[in-house]
Structure 1
Amino acid sequence: MKVMLLTAGTRGDVEPFFALARAAAARGHQVRIAIPENSGADTAGLDTVSLRMDFARLVSDQGVSPRAAARTFRTVIRPAVGQLLSAAVEHIVAFAPDVVVYHPKVLSAPAAARRLGIPSVLVETVPALTPTREFPSPIIPAASLGPLNRASYAPARAATLMFRRELQSALDLLPPGRTPATETRATLIPVSPHLLPRPSDWPESVHLTGHWADKPAATEIDDELEAFLNGGDVVYAGFGSMKAGDARARGEAIIEAARRNGLRALVATGWGGIDIPAAAMGGDVLVRKSVAHHLVLPRAAAAIYHGGAGTVHAVARAGVPSVVVPFIADQPFWGAVLHRRGLGPQPVPYRKLTADTLARVLGEAGSCRGQAARTGELVRAEDGTAVALGVLENLAGA
């Protein structure tokens, strides 16, 4: 089976696709994956091609402010998306796959597959496109809208209209006179059912597979990090690609909250969402740009993070409590999900983060350790990529 994977966004959008790509290759399938520039994820052993859009630079230049995105929509975002959509079509045509598996941001992928007569499969890394009565769209900050829950999914599904000109330009690259169109055949949602049970009203074509994660590499922790982890109870803090507000004040709050709870702080500064001033440093603080989650999280007392879907699953798999500080999009949703499941305290929006508030919720996280450990055992037992590959093989007749 020839599988064309296409994903777009930040590292949390890329890594699950990499896990699926490696699992598919291990089963003997031919796999090519189209990815954004500068994703930060490990491409070793993968056949990758570029979608010619750098989400890392976009976030670094503009932060995560919707207002900034609105100001630069025509001059920056629209041209960048146009490049991505055209690149996706070019790669699908060049590879001639048996099945196309795509992230929702790659709007041209299903349209190109339809024109070429190839089955396509949508991957919702966040379940924001398949309506359900059980909860509103994860990109809407509401616990429930009652009878309007299903209607809340309409705006996300209308994204194609925002880029219809770019989409048409991309599809003009397709050769004429090909096989009649086929519709998207399935939806894969790489989310653990132990975090989000499958809604009863999802159609049978929607598969909640469990999370997609690479098997941990045999990477060793360096001596400095090993000594730090062995020096006492540690809280991990990292906000990935989130860059908004006062990063220095946020760093000071994290260090102060950790110290009030008798914890050492391992801080991953990521793309600049946390800044630790020299005055806050000490033997109980270790700062890195990034760390290997699978190596450090199981040894942490708790994790303070933004609530992106990838990190949510990494922390859940590690079996430690979550302290979620959401910034945008689906992050409040995941924070609320974890709180309802007894895996962490009530999330604290980043604009309301103070040392006092963070110290309090970090203290509350201790009561979640038992439930977090039990859930970790269940999540580690999942094999989401195997479930997903079973769906793809059935569609392609492999």
Structure 2
Amino acid sequence: MQIVIPTVGTRGDVQPYVALGVGLRKAGHDVRIITLSQFESFVTGEGLEFAPTNAEFLELLNTPEGKKAISGGNPLGVFKRVMPMLRAMLDEIWEASRDADAIVYHPKTLASEHVAAKLGVPAIRASVVPLYTPTAEFPVPIINAGRSLGGIVNHATWGLFLMGVYAPYVKMVDGWRADSLGLPSAKQQPAPIAQTLYGYSEHIVPRPADWPDDVVITGTWFLEAETGWTPSGELTAFLDRGDPPVYVGFGSMPSQDPLKVAETVISALRKAGLRGVLASGFGGMEASAAGDDILVIDAAPHSWLFPRMSAVVHHGGAGTTAAGLRAGRPTLVVPTGVDQPFWGARVAALGAGPKPLPAKRLTVDGLASALRELTTDTEMQMRAGELGRQISQEDGVARAIAEIEKMAQGHASA
């Protein structure tokens, strides 16, 4: 089968879908990833076909205006500039999907289910966050993290969230459907979604009892090894010359003051008497000189790095959270927003880490205190290790492939 996988966003929005693509390719399918141009070498390096879509959206998020909007400022000005970029993205996804036998897509792409409807192929919604299937068991993760509001209110939050997410784009998407696909409005002719796959572990978020059968939690879509990656001599030497350090990295979420963040982290590590590995990454931290007890790296595969750490501190992205827990390491989440507080609350509820420490309240004393708890609480360490063993037994990619193949075959024979 020709399987097309559109996804946009940061590295955390791309890597799980590349992992799916690698698994599907190994299973004998042709796979094309449609995503931002900056990820072309990443995609092709894993042996997958690449098709580009508009990268201006992500570039805008890393401007001062975009960073301010993400951090809680007024997003209206950014939104107005994003709309034409999104319209261009829809056309690019359509052009790159015309030969698809199935489309497995990130919901952020907006166009994918409509393209699948035009082609008459199954649209399989794939997400690493439980955002698109209402339940009475907990509120939508973006609105409330860590506590139930009661069944009726919990369920109502999902409708409010989904309406708020998609309503701003309805007019634009309907215009595009008419102009590019020759389809009536989505209200007149909704685009069917054949199945929803969630790429996280049920050991982290148990399956709600009220979810329908066409929603499947597969386990996390881990990319097991990045082709051609080897650790630097500096990194291996640092790891060899002392106790296991604490990993600190804030992923692809832009920071308005990355130098200040790095200074706070380094001071807190030293106050707690701990060695550290700091991942500077896309925009989370900047530190040019750290010292013998701190090593700053650009990035390293979590599957290699995390088992060599004593604990992990990060922004709370779905993939990073899963990687830290699979490694069996106690985890502190320092969330900025979106779904990150939800994952931080889950880690704390599972006993695998302290309560989340919001980035906007990050201080040297507060972080140092959390680091001490993270590295000395034996019960927390035992619980993290137990979770690691449970998650390591799952194969989320294989489960997802089986579901995709079953759905596509059933659709073809219908």
**Superposed pair shares fold, TM > 0.5:** yes
Distance 1:155 1:39 in 2: 33
Q: Secondary structure at the match of 1:50?
A: strand
Distance 1:386 1:119 in 2: 19
Residue 369 of structure 1 and its aligned partner are, at CA, apart by: 1.5
State the partner residue of 2:125.
122
Q: Secondary structure at the match of 2:38?
A: coil
Q: Is the 8 A contact 2:313 2:333 kept in 1?
A: yes
Q: 1:167 aligned to 2:169? A: no
State the partner residue of 1:189.
198
Q: 1:349 aligned to 2:358? A: yes
1:136 to 113, 134, 139: 139
Q: What TM-score comes out, normalization by structure 2 length?
A: 0.89
Q: Secondary structure at the match of 2:42?
A: coil
Distance 1:265 1:16 in 2: 27
Q: What's the % identity of the aligned pairs?
A: 37
1:145 to 135, 144, 149: 149
Distance 2:72 2:264 in 1: 25
Matches within 5 A, 1:11-50: 11-39=11-39, 42-43=42-43, 44=45, 45-50=47-52
Q: Is the 8 A contact 2:40 2:50 kept in 1?
A: no
Residue 327 of structure 1 and its aligned partner are, at CA, apart by: 0.1
Structure 1's consecutive aligned runs of 4 or more residues displaced over 6 angstroms after TM superposition are none
State the partner residue of 1:337.
346
Q: Is the 8 A contact 1:36 1:55 kept in 2?
A: no
Residue 357 of structure 1 and its aligned partner are, at CA, apart by: 0.6
Q: 1:319 aligned to 2:328? A: yes
Q: 1:3 aligned to 2:9? A: no
State the partner residue of 1:53.
55
Residue 220 of structure 1 and its aligned partner are, at CA, apart by: 2.6
2:272 to 257, 261, 272: 261
The alpha-carbon distance between structure 1 residues 241 and 132, as it changes in their structure 2 partners (threshold 3 A), is: same
2:396 to 372, 384, 392: 384
Q: What TM-score comes out, normalization by structure 1 length?
A: 0.93
Q: Secondary structure at the match of 1:32?
A: strand
Q: Is the 8 A contact 2:71 2:336 kept in 1?
A: no
Q: 1:239 aligned to 2:250? A: yes
What is the one-letter code of the residue matched to 2:393?
A
Distance 2:208 2:183 in 1: 41
Distance 2:13 2:296 in 1: 25
Matches within 5 A, 1:201-350: 201-217=210-226, 219-232=229-242, 233-276=244-287, 278=289, 281-350=290-359
Stretches of structure 2 lacking an aligned partner (at least 5 in a row): none
Q: Is the 8 A contact 1:39 1:56 kept in 2?
A: no
Stretches of structure 1 lacking an aligned partner (at least 5 in a row): none
**What is the Cα-based RMSD across aligned positions, in Å?**
2.0
- The aligned length equals 391
Residue 40 of structure 1 and its aligned partner are, at CA, apart by: 7.9
What is the one-letter code of the residue matched to 2:390?
L
What is the one-letter code of the residue matched to 2:154?
N
Q: Secondary structure at the match of 1:161?
A: helix
